Amino acid sequence: MKKSLLIIYSAASLAVAPYASASAIHAADAIERTENTVYINTDIDVSGIKRGSNREAWIRPMIVNGTDTLRLDGIMVAGRNRYYQAERHNTAAKNNLTLYRSSESLTTVPYKTSVPYQPWMNGADLVVSVEYRGCCGADLEPSTVTPIASLDFEPKRFVPAFNWIAPQAETVKHRELRGQAFIDFPVNKIVIYPDYRRNTVELAKIQATIDSVHNDKDITITALSIKGFASPEGPWNNNVRLAKGRTAALKTYVEQLYNFAPDFIQTSYEPEDWDGLRAYVEKSNITNREEILKLIDSDMEPDAKNSALERTYPSQYSFLLANVYPALRHSDYKIEYNIRSYTDVSEIRRLVKTRPQNLSLQEFFLAAKSVEQGSDEFNEIYSTAVRMYPDNEVANLNAANAAMSRGDLDSAARYLDKAGDSPEAIYARGIYNALAGDFAKARSFFIQAARLKVADAPAAIEQLNEVKK
């Protein structure tokens, strides 16, 4: 017999209800369902039925769900006189009953049948009705109905137990912001003209970066540094003057905006940004790319190197001078700062929405623990945490768990790629594959996790043993 989509319900999985003492009927063993058919193969306990030579019991299983009822073939257990009467008149067969003679040794009778599956049967009850009859078919007492099992034909599903990882607390929440500004100066000048070309935009960019931490009462700025760069054209000595002077001019401009202590802003400079030029050429498809890179990497003096580049590759040099060299005249800045720690969970939950950049991963974790798992706020906390710490393995692992808990396997896969190879990450990959339906791969990950002492891994393996696709 072909059994596609077979679901087997053993005695252990049946919801067996207490049976009525009047009937003393119960069933065990198995109920099976294929795509189109329900199979019942069980034993029915008849040890408790009332006996007598002129007494017969009609035992009839039924599938019942609300107003829907399907009467199944039944069993007749008859005392001596009723047994012979039933045989003589073929009573059992006429009523779709299988005849058994009552005796003290008759304690169970086998029961096997099959019926077409109908959707209403899912969630139905399997019950047994018992009718007692005497001579001439007279009812001896009211019939009884005994629940046997609940027919739950929904496939068993893998239900994961997630491991939420607590990040290590930071002793000091030290952070930094980096930026790059392109201040335009007139040729050979080292004085900043705020309204010159795009200087308004570039200077505003620096100010906005500083303001983002300077105006936060929870933040203490610990260091601010500026490094100025010039482009390689022109004499080296003049480029030294320009890089140094323009960096000093930017420092003075920033000092005029803020009440920093004297010499709080640290400066340095690079007279010619050959590294920046090399990075551009390496990523480009410029003609003679490899030869130009060798020239840039050579030990030639800077002035000689620039002259050789102009002389040997004139067309490429003209392109670089017009399109790349201006970007090599830049000022890189870095702001270092400390953020106070937060212990009030309600404050942390507010900061998740308003200033998540101020929170440590451990603080995100505290917030998540304080809300209902799987809630919108819970998911938002872990999504925000991984956005703030996109390369952190713990952040990605917890975000993967949150994504899997809400059924978002696509996001979970992306997070798991960056979750590392800790025992917990291996276990999480087992969960992912189990939810995706790849039980073989899931089992492999769970076995690895079990060997690495992940407490929930053995139970996950046991679940896979029980789940039927």
pTM for the model stands at 0.66
**Residue 3, pLDDT score:** 32
pLDDT of residue 147: 84
Are 281 and 292 within 8 A, CB to CB? yes
Q: What pLDDT score does 239 carry?
A: 93
Rounded Cα distance, 452 and 418, in Å: 20
129, 61, 105, 81 alpha-carbon torsion, rounded to 10°: 60
pLDDT in tens, the chain (469 residues): 333 222 233 333 333 333 333 334 444 446 777 778 888 888 888 888 888 888 898 899 999 999 999 999 999 998 989 899 889 999 889 999 999 998 888 888 888 889 999 989 988 888 888 988 887 666 667 778 888 888 877 777 889 999 999 998 889 999 999 999 999 988 888 999 999 889 999 999 999 999 999 989 999 999 999 999 999 998 999 999 999 999 999 999 999 999 888 889 999 999 999 999 999 999 999 999 999 999 999 999 999 999 999 999 999 999 999 999 999 999 999 999 999 999 999 999 999 999 999 999 999 999 999 999 999 999 999 999 999 999 999 999 999 999 999 999 999 999 999 999 999 999 999 999 999 999 999 999 999 999 999 999 999 999 998 876 5
220 close to 190: Cβ distance less than 8 angstroms: no
Written as one string, the DSSP assignment of 80-112 is HHHHHHHHHHTHHHHTTEEEEE--TT--EEEEE
Residues 6+ apart with CB under 8 A from 197: 184
What single string gives the DSSP state of each residue in 432-448?
A: HHHHHT-HHHHHHHHHH
pLDDT reported for residue 248: 94
The encoded tokens of residue 131 equal 């009718």
Residue ranges of domains in the chain, CATH in brackets = 7-151 (2.60.40), 173-276+325-337 (3.30.1330.60), 341-466 (1.25.40.10)
User: For residue 155, what is the DSSP state?
Assistant: P
Q: Which residues contact 369 (CB under 8 A, 6 or more apart)?
A: 164
Please say whether the beta carbons of 219 and 359 come within 8 A: no
User: How distant is the alpha carbon of residue 23 from its chain centre?
Assistant: 51
In the numeric block, which tokens belong to residue 6?
A: 């077979």
Query: Alpha-carbon dihedral of residues 143, 144, 148, 154, nearest 10 degrees?
Result: 70
Structure confidence at residue 414 (pLDDT) = 97
pLDDT of amino acid 151: 82
Give yes or no for a contact between 425 and 439, defined as CB atoms under 8 angstroms apart: no
Which pLDDT does position 133 carry in this prediction?
87
Q: Which two tokens stand for residue 183?
A: 């201040």
